[in-house]
């Protein structure tokens, strides 16, 4: 048996290449080879590897797939044969029983694609298995879309570096997985202290190993412990419950140690053979990714950084990476790095990136509140100050969930603030262990010699189930706590400046992490587990797609152009927008502003009208009534604000096209203004600040004009060569296609109750595909799956039918905001919801492409100056200072080894380092090639209505994000929920979550406009 394993282990790992229609990728590149002294799995050539990390285990995907029907026959059951009533200009609807369909199982892996003809497609189509047989109502295993070819070939090659570091592993190295049970249950920080002491004091029992610990329950060792079960005891200087009074006040006692019992049990042993076979593409394609070994290696590579840094999610932060920076408001910025082990086409790779985030400043609670809360700035000079009801709520909100420690006695114990006491410190009494009633301020004076100064402030309540009091002035904010509150504009600007590094600087930081004292290679784990982590970034070839030719308005001197600047931006100096609108009935209202600022309003109206005229947009120089000047306080009164807006609307005979609002400053009443205008009155609005009206630059006026034009029904630009002419194999002029985008926005991290907002948009014109309608819904708190997707898609299909007079022949759906762990659950439920929406219409089963769009990832691409010709006009350092050009696409080496994904940087990075967008095609019944889908997405990025440059995100996803944000504004005034209720007996309980608050209905007059942009 040993001999057989050895022989199998030494087999050569030969990649199995694939090509599409016999093509090969001319940009494939050999990576640097490493010496392999002990059977390293070295995936330097392009391999087909497992799914992106982390992935859930294979889950059944209940996808409704309709069995084939005869031509012109709907999917209604035999009990519903009557024809549905048709409304004028509405598509025919199928009956409710039409959704009775067979069930298919979808697994995360290579696909069995639905059979679709390349250019000719029937309205109903049968599903086919791998052998081509039709699936007739049977249960068939399907998986996510596989890459259709070996990658795209369009565009000249560009030499790049990616922040992926190749990880080689000895696949014969066994890893022993132990379950760790610590009693009593400690926090993560205490658990790591226990683990460190455990290794120091029990070397023999642990066979001299230095295992990796995830801080919870899992321990991974390169050698087997002395016994499969161990029971060990560790003591730490933590106060026990005996040092607390029945009322929770810390009693004065000598330093005590808390005893922890650690039970260690062997769970499993595994080696890397299965993972190596998977990476080498040996064995059955349907075998899922061996998660156990991969997950263990990920924990192993995080062990050393976690011991030296503050972990936050997958990122680690350390003051050794540049210190802390005060960003104001009781917060500091801290630099760190992100790391994640992921399988790619080249093998296992460690993705390492620079990261910055905000932490609570580790200072006393009193000085913290002075920095955090405006009305307590002078608290140290006014020690007798108390709090009003509203002030108390704000202080409680600022301190909620923050961990603190006490400074009047030595202890490693940490406490979490749950809320504030109802009574002020002066009036608090408690019962000691002997049953004696003591006054809190007297107790601290008698036992600690401390005289409480801020007696009119409440105490911190540090227990949810019983009253436990800590005076604020004796508490310190614990170090290493991520700032979860909403950052102010100034704080956000300072954090962004900390993280805004040009490519050369960012690359140097990442390289420093890989060679530094706190990075993933800084400990002994690499040696103990027989790993080799490359210190150099991955070299690869990308391609640069050419920009599309654009069509502008017929009235301008320049009517078409190809963006030729390095940033692919174009201007409209001698051009008109593609479709300009006429705005004859509009009004202006001002909130606040100085007399001088208000006096500039007539000049603003004239110059805005002139700039619109230059762009081919008609904006009347006369408003329907004289500009209305109101105090900014009006934005605080919702009823008065609504009354005022209704009067303005009535002055235009209830036919107002546009309302321009000028504000003195940003104001929370902006949300009420948008909600009233778009739901109660039915008018689109455009807001701007007085500070931007001072200079009235041509660029500012042009940007304002483009937004106004888009909101009232116009569009900025169109593709000169329509999408059917660019992708003739799949798209046709007379077969309309709809592009849809979807996103879900969640409430603030400290908000435990507000609903999430889902938005779906859909294009309404073909082949231009540059106008979108939206649908928004509120749904369960933090629910990522769009719950009402079927109804929203159905409504958008209705709108499309009214505009185009036929239903779309293909649906291309871009889903934003989904993490890799949610891919298959989203696909499972949302693809079925889209199918369900389609099944409402008889005989309507269009092919669907479902793509996930990701911006929140950590892959960065840098120009590789070492491959640049010496004759280049740019010096090496200057090359590194430059971001990658717009149109840079990567679909090899660092992408998913089997599934259909690519990175596309469609924009020019003006500040910092460009972040390419990651597109992952999870389902593709339209059967796009790599070149076709990349060209499609890149071309669409030039059609965004708000600017004259390509944007970083495909517009359907971008618009969905904006629409979801607008829906969030509609609920701002209703989202203040009290997270806790306090009874008279001081028993604390969490309030029941409120019912989902529905969004107000949009007015019919704005429902089909792009009011959200």
DSSP per position, 29-96: -PPPP---TT-EE---S-----PPSS-PPP---EEEEPPP--TT--S--TT--SPPP--TT------G
Using alpha carbons only, give the angle 756, 761, 766 rounded to the nearest 5 degrees: 175
User: Hey, which residues does 559 pair with through a beta bridge?
Assistant: none
Q: What is the pLDDT of residue 361?
A: 96
- pTM listed for this prediction: 0.85
Q: What is the pLDDT of residue 992?
A: 55
* Element holding 370 (H helix, E strand): helix 365-372
Contact residues for 643 (Cβ-Cβ < 8 A; gap 6+)? none
Contact residues for 454 (Cβ-Cβ < 8 A; gap 6+)? 366, 379, 383, 385, 425, 471, 472, 473
- The SS3 assignment for 688 reads strand
Interatomic CA distance for residues 946 and 962, integer angstroms? 12
Closest CA to 823 of 106, 291, 331: 106
Closest CA to 609 of 524, 703, 705: 705
375, two tokens? 């009305």
Find where tokens 């890893």 sit.
Answer: 175
For 800-833, what is each residue's pLDDT tens digit?
Answer: 999 999 999 999 999 998 999 899 899 999 999 9
Interatomic CA distance for residues 564 and 546, integer angstroms? 10
Using alpha carbons only, give the angle 49, 830, 741 rounded to the nearest 5 degrees: 90
Q: Is the peptide bond before 264 cis (omega within 30 degrees of 0)?
A: no
Identify whether the C-beta of residue 550 lies closer than 8 Å to the C-beta of residue 717: yes
197, two tokens? 């002491």
254, two tokens? 């000598």
- Residue 113: phi and psi, rounded to 5, are -75, 150
Q: What is the pLDDT of residue 122?
A: 35
Query: How many Cα neighbours within 13 Å face the side chain of 627?
Result: 19
Q: What is the DSSP letter of 732?
A: B
Q: What is the DSSP letter of 995?
A: P
Mean pLDDT, the chain cut into blocks of 10 residues (1013 residues total): 39 41 40 39 42 40 40 37 46 56 42 37 36 36 81 97 97 96 91 94 94 96 96 82 46 67 96 85 72 95 95 94 92 97 94 97 96 94 93 94 90 87 94 87 92 96 87 95 91 94 96 95 94 97 98 94 96 94 97 95 96 97 96 96 97 95 96 97 97 90 97 97 97 98 92 93 97 97 96 98 97 95 92 97 97 97 78 49 94 92 96 96 97 98 97 98 97 49 38 77 96 96
Interatomic CA distance for residues 409 and 184, integer angstroms? 23
Identify whether the C-beta of residue 98 lies closer than 8 Å to the C-beta of residue 839: yes
Interatomic CA distance for residues 515 and 523, integer angstroms? 11
776, two tokens? 């928004």
Interatomic CA distance for residues 864 and 280, integer angstroms? 28
State the first-to-last Cα distance of the chain, in angstroms, to the nearest integer. Answer: 66
Q: What is the DSSP letter of 566?
A: T
Interatomic CA distance for residues 648 and 655, integer angstroms? 10
Q: What is the DSSP letter of 974?
A: G
569, two tokens? 């931006």
Identify whether the C-beta of residue 420 lies closer than 8 Å to the C-beta of residue 395: yes
């Amino acid at each position: 048996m040993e001999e057989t394993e050895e022989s199998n282990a030494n087999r050569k790992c030969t990649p199995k290449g694939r090509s599409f229609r016999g093509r090969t990728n001319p940009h494939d590149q050999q990576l640097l080879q490493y010496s392999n002294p002990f059977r390293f799995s070295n995936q330097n050539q392009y391999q087909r590897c497992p799914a992106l990390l982390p992935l859930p285990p294979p889950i059944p995907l209940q996808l409704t797939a309709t069995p084939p029907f005869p031509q012109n026959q709907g999917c209604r059951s035999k009990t519903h044969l009557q024809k549905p009533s048709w409304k004028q200009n509405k598509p025919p609807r199928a009956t409710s029983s039409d959704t009775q369909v067979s069930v298919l199982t979808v697994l995360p892996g290579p696909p069995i694609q639905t059979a679709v003809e390349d250019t000719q497609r029937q309205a109903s189509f049968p599903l086919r298995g791998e052998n081509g047989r039709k699936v007739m109502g049977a249960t068939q295993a399907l998986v996510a879309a596989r890459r259709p070819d070996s990658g795209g070939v369009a565009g000249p090659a560009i030499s790049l570096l990616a922040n992926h570091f190749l990880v080689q592993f000895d696949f014969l190295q066994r890893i022993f997985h132990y379950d760790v049970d610590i009693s009593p249950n400690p926090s993560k920080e205490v658990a790591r202290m226990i683990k460190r002491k455990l290794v120091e004091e029990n070397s023999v029992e642990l066979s001299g190993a230095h295992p990796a610990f995830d801080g919870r329950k899992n321990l991974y060792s390169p050698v087997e412990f002395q016994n499969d079960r161990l029971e060990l005891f560790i003591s730490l200087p933590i106060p026990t419950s005996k040092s607390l009074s029945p009322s929770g006040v810390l009693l004065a006692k000598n330093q005590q140690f808390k005893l922890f019992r650690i039970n260690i049990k062997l769970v499993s042993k595994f080696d890397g053979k299965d993972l190596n076979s998977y990476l080498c593409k040996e064995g059955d394609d349907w075998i899922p990714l061996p998660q156990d070994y991969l997950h263990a290696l990920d924990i192993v590579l995080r062990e050393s950084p976690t011991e030296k840094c503050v972990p936050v999610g997958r990122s680690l932060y350390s003051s050794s990476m540049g210190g802390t920076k005060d960003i104001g408001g009781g917060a500091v910025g801290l630099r760190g790095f992100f790391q994640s082990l992921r399988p790619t086409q080249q093998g296992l790779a460690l993705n390492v990136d620079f990261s910055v985030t905000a932490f609570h400043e580790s200072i006393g609670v009193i000085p913290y509140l002075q920095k955090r809360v405006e009305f307590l700035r002078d608290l140290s000079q006014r020690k007798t100050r108390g709090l009003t009801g509203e002030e108390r709520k704000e202080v409680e909100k600022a301190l909620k969930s923050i961990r603190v420690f006490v400074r009047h006695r030595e202890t490693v114990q940490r406490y979490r603030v749950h809320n504030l006491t109802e009574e002020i410190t002066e009036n608090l009494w408690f019962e000691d262990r002997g049953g004696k009633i003591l006054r809190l301020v007297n107790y601290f004076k008698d036992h600690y010699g401390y005289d409480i100064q801020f007696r009119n402030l409440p105490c911190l309540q540090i227990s949810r189930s019983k009253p436990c009091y800590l005076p604020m002035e004796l508490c310190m904010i614990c170090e290493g706590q991520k700032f979860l509150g909403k950052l102010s504009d100034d704080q956000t600007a300072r954090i962004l400046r900390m993280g805004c590094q040009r490519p050369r600087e960012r690359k140097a930081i990442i390289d420093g992490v890989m060679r530094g004292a706190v990075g993933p290679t800084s400990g002994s784990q690499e040696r103990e587990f027989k790993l080799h982590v490359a210190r150099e970034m991955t070299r690869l070839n990308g391609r640069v797609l050419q920009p599309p030719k654009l069509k502008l308005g017929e009235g301008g001197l320049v009517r078409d152009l190809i963006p030729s600047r390095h940033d692919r931006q174009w201007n409209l100096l001698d051009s008109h927008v593609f479709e300009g609108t006429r705005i004859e009935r509009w009004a202006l209202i001002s909130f606040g502003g100085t007399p001088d600022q208000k006096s500039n309003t007539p000049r603003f109206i004239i110059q805005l009208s002139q700039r619109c005229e230059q762009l081919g947009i008609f904006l009347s120089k006369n408003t329907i009534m004289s500009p209305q000047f109101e105090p900014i306080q009006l934005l605080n009164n919702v009823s008065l604000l609504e009354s005022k807006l209704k009067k303005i609307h009535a002055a235009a005979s209830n036919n107002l096209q546009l309302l321009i609002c000028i504000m003195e400053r940003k104001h929370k009443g902006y949300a009420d203004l948008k909600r009233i205008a778009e739901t109660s009155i039915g008018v689109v609005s455009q807001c701007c600040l007085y500070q931007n009206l001072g200079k009235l630059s041509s660029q500012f006026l042009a940007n304002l004009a483009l937004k106004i034009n888009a909101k009232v029904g116009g569009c900025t630009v169109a593709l000169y060569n329509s999408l059917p002419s660019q992708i003739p194999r799949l798209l046709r002029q007379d077969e309309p296609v709809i592009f849809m985008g979807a996103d879900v926005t969640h409430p603030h991290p400290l908000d435990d109750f507000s609903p999430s907002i889902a938005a779906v948009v859909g294009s309404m014109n073909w082949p231009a595909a540059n106008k979108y309608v939206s649908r928004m819904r509120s749904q369960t708190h933090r629910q990522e799956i769009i719950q009402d997707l079927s109804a929203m898609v159905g409504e958008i299909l209705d709108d499309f039918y009214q505009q185009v007079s036929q239903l779309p022949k293909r649906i291309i759906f871009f889903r934003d905001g989904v993490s890799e762990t949610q891919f298959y659950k989203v696909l499972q439920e949302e693809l079925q919801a889209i199918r369900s929406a389609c099944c409402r219409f008889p005989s309507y089963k269009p092919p669907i492409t479902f793509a996930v769009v990701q911006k929140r990832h950590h892959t960065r691409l840098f120009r590789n100056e070492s491959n640049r010709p010496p004759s280049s006009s740019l010096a090496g350092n200057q090359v590194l200072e430059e971001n990658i050009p717009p149109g840079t696409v990567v679909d090899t080496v660092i992408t998913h080894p089997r599934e259909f994904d690519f990175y596309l940087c469609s924009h020019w990075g003006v500040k910092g380092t460009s972040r390419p967008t990651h597109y992952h095609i999870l389902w593709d019944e339209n059967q796009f090639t790599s070149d076709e889908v990349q060209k499609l997405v890149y071309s669409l990025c030039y059609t965004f209505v708000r600017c004259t440059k390509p944007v970083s995100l495909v517009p359907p996803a971008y618009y969905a994000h904006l629409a979801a944000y607008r829906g969030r504004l509609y609920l701002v005034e209703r989202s203040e929920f009290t997270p806790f209720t306090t009874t008279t007996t001081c028993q604390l309980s969490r309030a029941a979550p409120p019912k989902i608050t529905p969004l107000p209905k949009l007015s019919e007059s704005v429902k089909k406009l792009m009011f959200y942009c």
